[in-house]
Structure 1
Amino acid sequence: MNSFLILCLFGLVMAAVARPNTTYTDKYDSVNLDEILGNRRLLTPYIKCMLDQGKCTPDGKELKSHIREALEEDCAKCTKTQRDGTRRVLGHLINHEKDYWNQLKAKYDPQSKYSSKHEEELRTLKQ
């Protein structure tokens, strides 16, 4: 789903080291999303990592490697915290970072197979 796209797009939001048949690691569930979303200097490097336009931190590399799986499996391995965080991040990108949002969609969901499911709802999400 669209929700997990951003979850994976931000290494600080979730680490995607999957435990077999359970959930993604909750190691990064306590990350302060408000700090990241409120500071483009922190946000931009993670977006650029996901777009292959910049260096990735170790957690960013790990997350990037799980984006497609998460999209295809409707965030089946996400914790509740990760699902909630994903919605917040997606809403922020859709409402405040349209250029980056469009680039990310073009890379990870070029046919809008997943993003179209929730984009309209998240477009009006209060930040």
Structure 2
Amino acid sequence: MRSAILLTILALVTMSLAEDAEKKEEKGKENEDKYTDRFDSLNVDEIVANRRLLVPYIKCALDRGRCTPEGKEMKAHIQDAMQTACKKCTDKQKAGARQVVNHIKDNEKIYWDELTNKYDPKGEYKPVYEAFLAGKDPQ
């Protein structure tokens, strides 16, 4: 009788551990589909409020200036984010991307034109990123 109870408890513990492992694996796969959140603490408000901070990031993206680690990370994902409406972005990254890019569109028109010419020269993805910048995420 005792061994049957022990076997039942052992089976329940094993099933529970297997479920936990599956959940961790699923969560890991979700995170694989996202860009790194390593720089999510970057103060976007400060950057858009200070042109001296903003312009170096833009020049990095345009291959016309040095890149900080944050700038290199951003630059590596610009084209993919434009083409997919920031599908791999965390919610914080989506909000920050909208804020920065809309600021560039509204206040740095020459740089905006240069960025779109570099990353979407044929204008193929304009409907995708324009909808995203307007706050509409694809379903």
Identify whether the pair has TM-score above 0.5, normalized to the shorter chain.
yes
Aligned length: 105
Structure 1 unaligned residues grouped into runs of 5+: 1-18
Match of 1:63 among 74, 77, 95: 74
RMSD over aligned CA atoms reads: 2.4
Larger radius of gyration: 2
Q: Which residue of 2 aligns with 1:89?
A: 100
1:118 to 1:20, Cα distance in 2 relative to 1, 3 A:
closer
CA distance in 1, matches of 2:119, 2:53: 21
Greater helix percent: which structure?
2
Q: Under a length normalisation based on structure 1, what TM-score does the superposition of the two structures give?
A: 0.71
CA contact (8 A) 2:82 2:129 kept: no
Alpha-carbon distance in structure 1 between the residues aligned to 2:132 and 2:118: 21
1:90 alignment partner, SS class: helix
Letter in 2 for 1:57: T
TM-score, normalising length: structure 2 = 0.65
Q: Which residue of 2 aligns with 1:25?
A: 36
Quote the Cα distance in structure 1 between the aligned partners of 2:97 and 2:49. Answer: 15
Worse-superposed segment, 59-68 or 41-50 = 59-68
1:42 paired residue number: 53
In 2, Cα distance between the equivalents of 1:121 and 1:62? 20
Runs of 4+ aligned residues of structure 1 deviating over 6 Å after TM superposition are none
